[in-house]
Amino acid sequence: MYAVLDIETTGGKFNQEGITEIAIHKYDGHTVVDQFISLVNPERDIQPFVVNLTGINSNMLKNAPKFYEIAKRIIEITEDCIIVAHNSEFDYRILRTEFNRLGYDYKRKTLCTVELSKDLIPDQPSYSLGKLVRSLGIPVTDRHRANGDALATVKLFKLLQTKDTTKKIIQSSIKEGQKRNKIDNKLIDIIEPLPTITGVYYIQKKGGDIIYIGKSRNIKRRVNQHFTATDTKSKKIQLHVSAVSYEETGSELVALLKENEEIKRLKPIYNRARKRTHFTHALYAFKDKNGYINLKIDVADGRKHPITTFSNKQSAKHFIEHHVEAYNFCLQLTGLGATNSEKPCFNHSLKTCHGACIKEESAAEYNLRVQELIDKNSYAHKNMIIVDRGRDIDERSAIYIKNGQFEGLGFFNLNFQINNISVLESIITKMENNRDTQHIIQSYLRSHKKIKIIQLPS
């Protein structure tokens, strides 16, 4: 039996955090058989960045139960269960800390879906819960709220169970719920001054050599995870770290691009060697003998020019299925149905395909919709600026695309700086354009549909 849970906290100093919300889903390996969801009055202040992230503020918690009032229910629903969480080290530590304040020694076995995902779904560009489930086509609502994240973790855990075909990996990953190792005072001293901002961080060993580079929307929290995790890489980082420096970016897209370039340039020993690219599959287009533009998901091929790329086959399939429905595309012309020029596709019987498969809809009419999809998801031959957050309230970041190539990025305060091409190019720091940067930008635009894009003249 498993207790899949997620906890939201106040933030703050290590082991001084309080729980603001908890969601627990008791899962028997097949279905959820019980659940407990509650806001919690932490009896302490909530950090402003946490309020912005979760939307939970002190007013919402005034009448919520205090932890001691729900402690018995938590003990009962998790009795004889293995705690499952995304970064279980954090959630289990927080639970044990709250129970320790009550004088109760709370112990459970634990399973971490971050570590399991790295074993069973390798080579993902990110293992953060939101990005991972989105890339796998798993629906998620109420991100950064306990129940939304707990439900997403249940769905992810179900997928991991099916991936564990030998039924040995999950079993061998269960950790005994013994007392956690105290974090070293040296590591606490390194964590304490770090900010809760978006940016790129550099973990250094004695002498200043960089041993790991990462990016996060909350640098302090992410480094804390490195210092409390128990996997082999994290233990090596904890042993050798002497300092952590960082560069604020404001924009997560800027952080992703800088992280990618810095890892390629500096090749830190504890970053996974990026022999492969960030993506495995791509969307291609070609015209058939009847003049219809066909779309096809295939393994990424560096010799071809894709419309857009995907981290894995599941996210590619989810993308094309969604757009077949949104654009009334033909199943046969998108690789989702058997090709038979004499028979219509299944969607034609549902009246969601207009008959391109049997030439009822003209190629010209059908291709207009396909071209609209291509234009939305590819920046080939385009000149444009992606405008995102800056490092403070008066600043914005600019990611510059010229003739379909990523030129670089910069920061600006006044609109005239990006409306004038010569001024724009003077504030842009040149960066390398490659397949990874193209994938990072396209993936970000797919998941941030409201981001501002300024089209520039050719």
* Helix 435-447, helix 363-377: angle, nearest 10: 100
- To which H or E segment does residue 293 belong? strand 293-299
Q: What is the pLDDT of residues 279-320, one digit of tens each?
A: 789 999 999 999 999 999 999 887 888 899 888 888 888 899
Give the type of residue at 456: L
pLDDT at 168: 86
Looking at residue 121, the DSSP 8-state letter turns out to be S
3 state SS for 164-203:
CCCCCHHHHCCECCCCCCCCCHHHHHHHCCCCCCCEEEEE
Distance CA 84, CA 76 (A): 16
CB 27 within 8 A of CB 42: no
Residue 421: in which H helix or E strand, if any? Answer: helix 421-427
DSSP 66: B
What is the C-alpha separation between 161 and 166, in angstroms, rounded?
10
Helix (H, G, I), strand (E, B) or coil at 252: helix
371 CB-near residues (< 8 Å, 6+ apart): 293
Q: Report pLDDT for 423.
A: 87
Residues 86, 8 contacting (CB under 8 angstroms): no
Residue whose C-alpha is closest to residue 376's, from 295, 302, 433: 295
61, 42 Cβ separation under 8 angstroms: yes
Low-confidence spans in the chain with pLDDT less than 70: 178-183, 273-278, 341
Could you tell me the pTM of the whole model? 0.62
